[in-house]
Chain A
Amino acid sequence: MAVLVTNGLAHYERVKAEPSDKTLKHIYYLLQSGHYLATRMAEEEPDLDWYRLRAELVTGIGPDATASDLKDLQYLVPEYARAKIGAPIGSIADRVRREYTRIAAELGK
């Protein structure tokens, strides 16, 4: 964030509680220059478009969800909760697909 902020690509605000001065949340803004740069990078280096795709998937989970909400959801997945720093986290795709089929079938009823 420091790189983005210092280079004028993003801006953030801290929302504070009155009168305790405790930070309740941060609000991040992607600035025009940031959006421009990101778009250029993704166009010029397809490798880096991976990050944009991740971000897109995350917003698909909950368009209005806050980062804290998303983080809490992430910790409900045992593979992630138990993961150690530096160790690869196994895929949960199969489990997600099974769950999806089950729920779809249930809704189909």
Chain B
Amino acid sequence: MISARQFAQRVADRLERPLEKVLPLLRERRIVPSGAPPHPRKLLVTEIAFSGVKSIDGAETPFEFRWNNLGPGLHGIASDANLRGKSTILEVVLWCLRGRPKGLQDVVRAWIRHAALGFEIDGAAHRVEFRLDEDMPIGVLSRGAPGDAVPIEIARFEGEDEFEEVMDDFMMRAFELSELKSRQRYSHDTLAQTVGSGWVGYSKALHIAGSQPILLGDEIFGGLPGRLLQIFLGVPHAELMMTARAARGEELQAEQQSQRRADLDRGTDEAEIAELQHQLEQAMRERDTVSTVSDVIGEVVAQGEIIAAAIARRTEALEASNELGLVAAEAEGAADDEAATVLQMGHAIKAKRYFTGLDPVCCPRCQRPIDIIRRAREVEQGACSVCTTPREQEEEATAVAALDEANQRANEARSVAEQAQRRHDEALRVLRMAEDELAAERRKLEEIERRRAAGDPRQAAEMAVARIEGRIEERRTRSGVRVEAHHVDRTLLDAAVAEAEQLRREASEELLRELNAEIRSIAESLGIPNLEEVKVLLNATMRVVIGGQPTNFTRLTGGERLRLRIATVVAMLRIGERRRVGRHPGLILIDSPGDEEVVDENLAEMLHELDRLASEIKHLQVFVASARPAQIVGVIPPERRRVAADGGFLW
């Protein structure tokens, strides 16, 4: 035997990894040897009983079948016509053992109202009994107490599912069987699942009905025949191997799924990478045009100089404008003064025309009338009648000439003022331009300042490029990483499977040689002459050489297959008996062997041989149901047979 630690060490050595990294992973998945091989246990049917009401052609007939005190050895059930209840007896046995019928006809099932099966496991008496209430089995599984004491109830059940659960639980424990794990795929496009098959799966190997091209049981799914062979034969490490394989299958599938997802992702990734490449080229172009920090400082300095020049131009324009403004204002004032002078002179000349013709009447100060003498003196001597001053005859023509002169001066002054105003306007226009230019240059500087404040533009552009490159790299590598992550685990499982396989192969080589020899010899005695070689593989496939011709089990005749199937079970039991290994319960139910091109003579011969084998192997119990009562009667003694002769019914 090998311990869990030793097994893990072997796996670790294969992988060249430390034990402490391997053992927990194997334990987690329960890929560890199961310890000492279980002690073989034997099942013996001691009582078969069922009853009910037959309904044939409207007539209802109660029936009861009871077969007590059964022991090891060959038992025969026979009727000379078909449909007389042979198969039903075997089916009821299976129903009771499994909690679910296997091939029981519906019409027969409908007749049955009650069924019971007494059986022993390594001599311990048990009994399962149920009644059918509207087709629903309601009953109890119990263990017989020694003497006449009341049986001990193990479990009650109500309904087919519960019945099956109860029997599965009980039988799996009783025979120390573990679930038959296998990977099954039910159709091409669904995912495989790890399927656990319990007692129902094992029990199929007890029943040999017909000549299916399957060595053990009646299902080829998930390598079930091979698993049954290994468990029943007691091949060391068979369960270890199965667990490891199932775990690897699960892992492989998970990996395939993730690979499929990765493939899908990769498709997406490739589209994204193309887009990112495009972005990258753009980012690189931007980076190459972007200036560095020192470039920006240079720009700031240069812009400062431009602004300084603009300020100088603005100042100059402002000064010129101010000066010209003053000049224009002065010229304007002068022009206004001249204009006012012209106006005053004009008004004075006009007013004078009215006042000069008037004669003074009084003193403007005291308002006393001017006397006549003064009036006469003014006329005669030209002395003013008011102040007596001699009057100068001022000619209006002189005043008008002075007005013309003043008018000319005023026009000149106006023209000068207008010219000054135009120059001032021009200076203002230049000033506005200088101010606009200065504002524009200041805005440019602010823009440069903002870029400087935002950090190194070159560095930001480099970062953008690096970021895009990183994203591309991530997409390029991630599918690979995904697969690799699984790969690590599967390597471990591969190693565990390989190690388990090696252990199993080493341990099973001798066992298989022995099995092959047994099968060959038993099959020959059961009626296959010229069987020169039998080679059973662990997957329950069989190659044979008959009459010098190598062939395959599936290519043999129905009769040959039937004999080899029986031979295989008997051989397993014989080896199990000899080696104290193996877990076949030792019960075989053979239905209608005569159907398989077995001539009467050969059938009798086969039954004889079976009888001999059954008596030789202490714990073997065989039930044969046949439509050839003569052969049964000829070979099997009355206490071990039930025969309905002359077209009668067995029950």
Contacts and interface: CB of A to CB of B under 8 A. Distances in A.
B362 A3 contact: no
B601 interface: no
B362 A88 contact: no
A11 B370 CA distance: 15
B333 interface: yes
Contacts of A87: 333
B347 A88 contact: no
B351 A48 contact: yes
B386 interface: yes
A8 B361 contact: yes
B361 A6 contact: yes
Nearest to B369: A8
Contacts of A47: 346-347, 350
A86 B354 CA distance: 27
Task: List 10 tightest A-B contacts by C-beta distance, closest first.
Answer: A2-B364, A8-B361, A6-B364, A7-B358, A6-B360, A5-B364, A45-B350, A88-B336, A41-B354, A6-B386
A12 B363 CA distance: 12
Contacts of A37: 354
B367 interface: yes
A91 to B, nearest CB: 13
9 contacts: A2-B365, A6-B364, A6-B370, A6-B386, A7-B358, A7-B360, A7-B361, A9-B358, A47-B347
A95 to B, nearest CB: 21
Contacts of B333: 87-88
B389 to A, nearest CB: 14
Interface string A1-22: 1110111110110000000000
B358 A11 contact: no
Contacts of B362: 5-6, 8
Contacts of B337: 86
Contacts of A9: 358
Contacts of A12: 367
Contacts of A86: 337
Nearest to B359: A7
Contact of B355 (A7, A40, A45, A88): A7
A48 B364 contact: no
A6 B363 contact: yes
A86 B337 CA distance: 8
Interface of B: 333, 336-337, 340, 346-347, 350-351, 354-355, 358-365, 367, 370, 386
Nearest to B332: A88
Contacts of A45: 350
Interface string A81-109: 00000111000000000000000000000
B361 A48 contact: no
Central interface residue in B333, B359, B361, by most chain A CB within 10 Å: B361
Given A7-B359, A88-B333, A88-B336, A1 B350 contact: no
A9 B362 CA distance: 10
Interface string A51-94: 00000000000000000000000000000000000111000000
A42 to B, nearest CB: 11
Contacts of A88: 333, 336, 340
A41 B353 CA distance: 10
Nearest to B353: A45
Nearest to B357: A7
Given A5-B367, A8-B361, A12-B367, 9 more contacts: A1-B364, A2-B365, A7-B355, A8-B362, A40-B354, A45-B350, A47-B347, A48-B351, A87-B333
Interface in A17-44: 37, 40-41
A41 B355 CA distance: 10
Contacts of B364: 1-3, 5-6
Contacts of A2: 364-365
Nearest to A2: B364
A11 B422 CA distance: 52
A57 to B, nearest CB: 18
Nearest to B366: A5
A40 B336 CA distance: 29
A11 B350 CA distance: 23
A92 B210 CA distance: 132
Central interface residue in A1, A6, A47, by most chain B CB within 10 Å: A6
Contact of B367 (A3, A11, A41, A48): A11
A8 B333 CA distance: 39
B266 to A, nearest CB: 80
Contacts of B358: 7-9
A11 B361 CA distance: 11
Nearest to A38: B354
Given A2-B365, A6-B361, A41 B336 contact: no
Contacts of B365: 2
A64 B337 CA distance: 35
A5 B355 CA distance: 12
A5 B366 CA distance: 10
Nearest to B367: A5
A105 B350 CA distance: 45
B473 to A, nearest CB: 74
Contacts of A11: 367
Contacts of A5: 362, 364, 367
A3 B351 CA distance: 11
A41 B351 contact: yes
Nearest to A37: B354
B425 to A, nearest CB: 20
Central interface residue in B340, B346, B350, B354, by most chain A CB within 10 Å: B354
Contacts of B346: 47
Contacts of A41: 350-351, 354
B221 to A, nearest CB: 104
Contacts of A40: 354
A21 to B, nearest CB: 16
Contacts of B363: 6
A41 B364 CA distance: 22
Central interface residue in A2, A8, A86, by most chain B CB within 10 Å: A8
A86 B358 CA distance: 31
Nearest to A88: B336
A6 B367 CA distance: 7
B354 to A, nearest CB: 6
A1 to B, nearest CB: 7
Contacts of A1: 364
Nearest to A13: B367
B117 to A, nearest CB: 117
Nearest to B351: A48
A48 B352 CA distance: 12
Contacts of B351: 41, 48
A5 B358 CA distance: 12
A8 B337 CA distance: 33
A2 to B, nearest CB: 3
